[in-house]
Amino acid sequence: MRIAIGNDHIALELKKVIVDHLSAKGYEIIDLGTHSAERYDYPVAGEAVARAVVSGEAEKGVLICGTGVGISLAANKVKGIRACVCSDPYTARLSKQHNNTNILAFGSRVVGSELAKMILDEWLTAVFEGGRHQRRLDMISGIEERQGV
Ligand code: RB5
């Protein structure tokens, strides 16, 4: 599975840990940056990863900034993206089973590296349950359509 990953300068070190973790598990990683510790605006990474996911270049995306909030807000502006911020494995699993999230975000100032790995592992192995959940996701897509996004 190919995973696109993006981050701001605050999350550079945690991003490296996560890339190593996912690579060791056999995932193919597309690292869309940032790659340096210089100040970097999180919407750039959020949009880049979101576009990689909707284009099919990557199956899933991972975003990391200080809190995970700004970078997920940016990603969610791209039509077809369902990104959520998770600070615990339970929410991460349910976000896939019920909401079919295609991007997972978290904050490097919020979660430590071991918890971040656990959150990601839970999310990556969870499976969307469809059924009534699909109908609700269709309702969310309807909002996008009515917005003319
Ligand atoms: C950068 O200072 C910080 O605002 C960013 O990493 C993130 O937390 C935004 O949501």
- Residues carrying an active site annotation: 65, 98
Q: What is the pLDDT of residue 149?
A: 55
Residue nearest to atom 10 of ligand 1 (CA): 70
| Domains defined for the chain, CATH in brackets | 2-147 (3.40.1400.10)
* Cis peptide upstream of residue 125 (ω within 30 degrees of 0): no
CA 140 to ligand 1 center in whole angstroms: 26
Three-state DSSP state, 115: helix
* 80-107 CB burial, b ≥16 within 10 A, e <16: ebbbbbbeebebbbbbbbbbbbbbbbbb
CA 117 to ligand 1 center in whole angstroms: 20
Give how far Cα 65 sits from Cα of 3, 34, 46, 78, 109, Å.
17, 11, 9, 18, 8
- The rounded mean pLDDT for the chain is 97
Residue nearest to atom 3 of ligand 1 (CA): 66
Mean pLDDT across 76-104: 98
Q: What is the pLDDT of residue 148?
A: 79
Give how far Cα 80 sits from Cα of 17, 55, 147, Å.
28, 10, 13
CA 65 to ligand 1 center in whole angstroms: 6
**pLDDT by residue (tens digit) across 109-132?**
999 999 999 999 999 999 999 999
Q: Which atom of ligand 1 is nearest to the CA of 73?
A: 10
Q: What is the pTM of this model?
A: 0.97
Which residues line the pocket of ligand 1, CB cutoff 6 A?
8, 10, 42, 65-67, 69-70
